[in-house]
Amino acid sequence: MQTSKAGGIKWLVTGLLFAILWPSASTATKAGLAVAQPLVIAIVRFALAACIVLFIAHVIQRKRLPAGKEWKQIAIYGLLNISIYLGCYVVAMQTVTAGIGSLAVATNPVFISFLSVIFLKQKMGWRIILALLICTIGVGCAAWPLFSNASVTAGGLLLLLFSMLCYSGAAIYFSSRKWDNLSLLVINGWQTLLGGLFLLPVALLFYKPEQNHFTKTFWLSVSWLAVPVSIVAVQLWLWLLSINPVRAGLWLFLCPLFGFLIAAWWLKDVISMYTITGMVLVITGLLISRKKNKSEVVFD
């Protein structure tokens, strides 16, 4: 019982911290786009994050290198999770607001849940279905005022949704592979490096020097995206996925709500009763999801 309780607290703290850090990427990205091309921001972010993570993993902690089929698995995961997902995401953010960028994250639990049923043969109990419904209503409530004044293009929105589908596919792929006790830090570092390398030719093809200004704003944006987001948040996400991908996906429902709070602090956006009501509903849904059915996989 003590172990189960401790595991539940660890899950709660990890999920909340992830839900706070991950949506901050939308605001940081919008800040960086004011002074640089999207793929330039992405490449520098990935290079910085990968160097830091791999130094910690292999030099400080002396973790082993990937071996054999693990390289192929990491390359595929990096392609889905870094090259395609984040490459499309940062390009889409040129024509999508930070609020809508955060809101799009909420589509992932639906994708993850149904992809888990198809590829992982998992069963969704009624608590997960009810939690998904309540969380969806909560996110819709919080986002309702944004639809009247959000500046979004159809192409940008479609590209954003496509990137979210790739993100969910990457989560399912990661959860379905056997990693033979390979460190999550090592997986994160190499998937970030390989994903960035896959994206590099595209970034060089569309590079325009006059559109890139390596100012303080650029480096602050990239540093935030690299360390709190690509390193800390991704490590938390990988741990959540390693426990249970469906339940991990539910934490993504909180991301838009924290995204609104970050935008309010940074961009002075107004927090309305819609936002507060939505947050209450999302938290309710998450609490329901933590209840255990005998037929469901638990996360303790």
Q: How many domains does the chain have?
A: 1
Confidence category of residue 281, pLDDT binned at 50, 70, 90:
confident
- Give the predicted TM-score (pTM) of the model: 0.78
The set of residues, in sequence order, having a beta carbon less than 8 Å from that of 172 and lying 6+ positions away, is 112, 115, 116, 119, 120, 245
Residue 20 reports pLDDT greater than 80: yes
Q: What is the 3-state secondary structure (H, E, C) of the chain?
A: CHHHHHHHHHHHHHHHHHHHHCCHHHHHHHHHHCCCCHHHHHHHHHHHHHHHHHHHHHHHCCCCCCCCHHHHHHHHHHHHHHHHHHHHHHHHCCCCCHHHHHHHHHHHHHHHHHHHHHHHCCCCCHHHHHHHHHHHHHHHHHHHHHHHCCCCCHHHHHHHHHHHHHHHHHHHHHHHCCCCCCCHHHHHHHHHHHHHHHHHHHHHHCCCHHHCCCCHHHHHHHHHHHHHHHHHHHHHHHHHHHHCHHHHHHHHHHHHHHHHHHHHHHHCCCCCHHHHHHHHHHHHHHHHHCCCCCCCCCCC
Query: Could you report the per-residue pLDDT of 234-261, keeping only the tens digit for each?
Result: 889 889 888 887 778 778 778 877 887 8
Between 32 and 259, whose confidence is greater?
Answer: 32
Domain interval for residue 106 = 2-119+148-259
Residue 287 reports pLDDT greater than 70: yes
Q: Does the residue 90 lie in any domain?
A: yes
Question: How confident is the model at residue 49, as a pLDDT?
Answer: 95
- Return the percentage of the chain with pLDDT > 90, whole number: 41
Query: What is the mean pLDDT of the segment spanning 133-153?
Result: 73
Query: What is the mean pLDDT of the segment spanning 127-145?
Result: 77
Query: What is the mean pLDDT of the segment spanning 182-208?
Result: 95
Q: Does the residue 130 lie in any domain?
A: no
Q: Does the residue 290 lie in any domain?
A: no
Q: Does the residue 140 lie in any domain?
A: no
Q: Does the residue 132 lie in any domain?
A: no
Question: How confident is the model at residue 59, as a pLDDT?
Answer: 96
Q: Does the residue 299 lie in any domain?
A: no
Whether the CB-CB separation of 243 and 296 falls below 8 Å is answered with: no
Q: Does the residue 141 lie in any domain?
A: no
Q: Does the residue 71 lie in any domain?
A: yes
User: Using CA atoms, how far apart are residues 256 and 263, in angstroms rounded to an integer?
Assistant: 10
